[in-house]
Amino acid sequence: MAHINRGSPRATLDGQRLTRNPGALGGPLTGPVRDDGAMTVTPTPGAASEPTDLDDLDRELLNAVQWDFPIVERPYAAIGERLGIDEAEVRERIATVKAAGVLRQLSAIFDTRALGYSSALVAAKIDPTTIDEAAEALNAHPGISHNYKRNHDYNLWYTLAVPPGEDFDAHLDVLHRQSGASVTRKLPTLKLYKIGVKLDMTGNTAANAKAEVLEHERPERRPDMEIPELSDLDRRTIEVVQEDLSLGEFPFADYGDQIGISGAEVIEQLRRFKERKWMRRFAAVMNHRTAGYKANAMGVWAVPEENLDEIGPAMAGFAAVSHCYRRPTYDDWPYTVFTMVHGRSARDCEATIEAISDETGVDEYALLWSIKEYKKVRVRYFTDDWTTWTRAHLGD
């Protein structure tokens, strides 16, 4: 099996290693994409698409709940004070954008590794005629949160998390067999430069705009991260606050009713989780496409090892980059830095990638488009789904 051992980069990649020519990677980037069941994302360059029925205040509100959601007794009142509207209107507008599918949910965003879970990005080579069936089989695993078809010989890309104390490679071996992949590559994070999706709903961010990488957007990553000691209350709180926040006047008290503690105690728990870096932030998660961000692309860069400490953070500093990591290379995969870019159109993504190349001087890169979305959810921690899957596929 091909997913355990790390290889070394080759000088070329059979014509797929690029120099200022992202369109050459694994097929054309333009043209229609057929919708045959799962969500599809066409990378055809074109005019930016706007979400329907959003006014300027909706967009400001969506930025506010993505970037700085207040962990206070009456958070919707606090947001309303910031925006100059009353609490009832904030709640009504959030309900409306949820119903429209623009906002997926408001909840705690936890750091998978800090909670003791192991995780990695995985790339697989799948027979194109069976890729839909392979993706469906993989999606049954509760630790697969994202699963996409991309325009490359490695055509199926998914993120996998495994609970504390379980063997990551044992899980991946099962998934490799289930998918029918000819090759499966494990691409864990070697260094995290940035993680944090913030979609500017106002549309005012330029392709080459910069943004400070905040502390919670660059959590610590080590191969030997300790499994934290969680109390029963910690686990129960995590189970509850990873779910969607209610639209009541005192929504944290609603969480508390489920946990068996007060709203003030929930707020204290969340603040403690953040101090211990188990929780990265409490914020909204958007539906990118419904929010008007129709394109997303993974830019992968052949950055020489001696330049990584300088170039990795520089790439992370672009506002349109939501994720930036150093990952391992293999004989057929020479790319050391991964950047995820979201745009209202493919041209927006291409413009950001070109701006990154221009600033850093890295001209050996590839641009992989999300052609089909098979799964996009948050990992749900400490649920029975994990035990059920493990018993079914790995035994007791």
The ranges assigned to domains in the chain are 54-99
Q: Please tell me the least confidently modeled range out of 6-10, 18-22, 170-174, 367-371.
A: 6-10
Q: Is the pLDDT of residue 294 over 60?
A: yes
CA diameter of the chain? 61
In terms of pLDDT, which residue wins out, 323 or 74?
Answer: 74
Band of the pLDDT at 156, cuts 50, 70, 90? very high
By three-state DSSP, how is residue 168 classified?
helix
What positions carry a catalytic annotation?
146
CA R_g for the chain: 21
* Tokens representing residue 110 in the block: 């936890």
Q: Is the pLDDT of residue 8 over 50?
A: no
- Quickly name the fold that domain 54-99 has: Arc Repressor Mutant, subunit A (1.10.10)
pLDDT at residue number 18 = 38
State how far the Cα of 204 lies from the Cα of 201, in Å rounded to an integer.
Answer: 8
Q: Per-residue pLDDT averaged across 317-335, rounded?
A: 92
Mean pLDDT of the chain: 83
pLDDT at residue number 224 = 64
Tens digits of residue pLDDT in 165-187:
999 999 999 999 999 999 999 99
Q: Is the pLDDT of residue 44 over 60?
A: no
Closest C-alpha among 116, 387, 382, 112 to residue 233 = 382
Band of the pLDDT at 137, cuts 50, 70, 90? very high
> How does 201-232 read in b/e, with b if 16+ C-beta sit within 10 Å?
beeebebeebbebeebbbbebeeeeeeeebee
Q: pTM higher than 0.85, yes or no?
A: no
State how far the Cα of 133 lies from the Cα of 126, in Å rounded to an integer.
Answer: 10
